[in-house]
Amino acid sequence: MAQINFGGTWEEVVTREEFPMEKARQVLENERVAVIGYGVQGPGQALNMRDNGIDVIVGQRPGSKSWDKAVADGWVPGETLFPIEDAARQGTIIQFLLSDAGQIQLWDTLRPYLTAGKALYFSHGFGITFKEQTGIIPPADIDVILAAPKGSGTTVRRLFLRGEGINASYAVYQDATGRAKERAIALGIAIGSGYLFPTDFKKEVYSDLAGERGTLMGAIAGIFEAQYEVLRANGHSPSEAFNETVEELTQSLMPLVAENGMDWMYANCSTTAQRGALDWRKKFKAATLPVFQELYASVASGQESQRVIDTCSQADYREKLNAELQEMHDSELWQAGKAVRTLRPGRVKEPVV
């Protein structure tokens, strides 16, 4: 492992230099990886492993939309695509990539196929960390491991096809075979990770739930909406409000942050922008810090996980979710964004409705 200095704290990181794809193939040469679930993470991870020469099969319900998607992606029924129980029976490593609510519903079906020496793999620590709520308690004679890409399954696949690797974390919850760690790392490399940070199941899910509800999705969406509304209320056009709220951030400034950090991005903006950002940064931190503290406490108490379980397991959840997403889609903010995207050079224009 490489030793990297993170702001004065040294951490171990696994990179492709010390754990190349050739080594991952050696670790997995006698394994058959059964990917259970072909929704968000399943396609990207399964396709990347297949392209990397790993023996991988997919388990899905025949006749489902996900089954049809798998067929469209080149998985062959009876050869590399099977009903869930058949795939689980064949797999020496079972990648449990259903939604958290879906894992709870399928657990009793999957449990009999977790025989001695197999590995149960997750990309999220939810089911294991909140086992009192989920009922997901693996048998003691299997490995329980995690490789969690820091991005959507779509991003996992896109970066792989560009010859790049996504940042990911890995963890071992249970080592029954003595091979759990090398299995976890090998799978992390095989699914397309460029480098992997060690963690544990609890830390992974706590940081993930806080991040998704915070700066990754929830907080940023709320901040976008608030600033857009203030600009519009003060007479700015939809295009101007969107450009100053979203477009400049995502297309210009965040790529600079990704390249060299926030300070470097500040240094490459006007002095007026620098001064204003530095002056207001601490005010926004002071305003939001109590919200983030409340959020983390809600995650740690199990309140967030219970809400996920209660709402996502409802029969009409998908219908309600689609209605919430449609409301966001139809808002003036994101309709303005749709129009702005058609103006980007080289972009195939979307119909403006």
Q: Model confidence over 4-28: pLDDT tens digits?
A: 888 888 888 999 999 999 999 999 9
Half-sphere exposure of 352 (CA within 13 A, CB side): 10
Max Cα–Cα distance, the chain, nearest Å: 67
DSSP H or E segment with residue 335: helix 332-341
Q: What is the pLDDT of residues 284-308, one digit of tens each?
A: 999 999 999 999 999 999 999 999 9
pLDDT in the model for residue 225? 98
Residue with tokens 């309709």: 335
The verdict on 55 and 89 lying in the same domain is yes
- Residue 135: pLDDT over 80: yes
Residue 326 phi, psi dihedral angles, 5° rounding: -65, -35
The answer to whether residue 27 is domain-embedded is yes
Q: Which two tokens stand for residue 5?
A: 């200095």
Domain span at residue 305 reads 211-341
Domain count, the chain: 2
Q: What is the pLDDT of residues 186-202, one digit of tens each?
A: 999 999 999 999 999 99
The verdict on 221 and 189 lying in the same domain is no
The residue among 200, 227, 262 that closes a domain is: 200
Q: Which two tokens stand for residue 184?
A: 């976890």
Q: Which two tokens stand for residue 57?
A: 């099969």
The verdict on 312 and 185 lying in the same domain is no
**Residues acting as catalytic residues:** 124
- Give strand ranges (E) for the chain: 2-6, 9-15, 33-36, 56-59, 81-82, 93-96, 119-122, 143-149, 166-174, 193-198
**Structure letter (DSSP) for residue 101:** H
Residue 281 phi, psi dihedral angles, 5° rounding: -55, -50
The answer to whether residue 350 is domain-embedded is no
The residue among 200, 226, 245 that closes a domain is: 200
The verdict on 131 and 227 lying in the same domain is no
Q: What is the pLDDT of residues 37-48, one digit of tens each?
A: 999 899 999 999
| Burial group, residue 200, by CB count within 10 angstroms (0-12, 13-18, 19+) | middle
Q: Which two tokens stand for residue 179?
A: 């091979």
Say which CATH number the domain at 190 has: 3.40.50.720
The verdict on 182 and 246 lying in the same domain is no
- Of 192, 195, 185, nearest to 24 by C-alpha is 185
The answer to whether residue 106 is domain-embedded is yes
pLDDT in the model for residue 4? 84
Q: Specify whether the CB–CB gap between 139 and 114 falls below 8 A.
A: yes
Q: Which two tokens stand for residue 302?
A: 């199990």
The verdict on 187 and 306 lying in the same domain is no
The verdict on 57 and 116 lying in the same domain is yes
Half-sphere exposure of 73 (CA within 13 A, CB side): 23
**Orientation angle between helical segments 218-233 and 332-341, nearest 10 degrees:** 90
The verdict on 134 and 7 lying in the same domain is yes
Q: Specify whether the CB–CB gap between 117 and 286 falls below 8 A.
A: no
Alpha helices in 60-170 (DSSP H): 65-72, 84-90, 100-110, 126-129, 131-134, 153-161
pLDDT in the model for residue 347? 58
How many contiguous H segments (helices) and E segments (strands) does the chain have?
19, 10
Residue 5 phi, psi dihedral angles, 5° rounding: -90, 115
pLDDT in the model for residue 2? 82
The verdict on 216 and 173 lying in the same domain is no
The answer to whether residue 275 is domain-embedded is yes
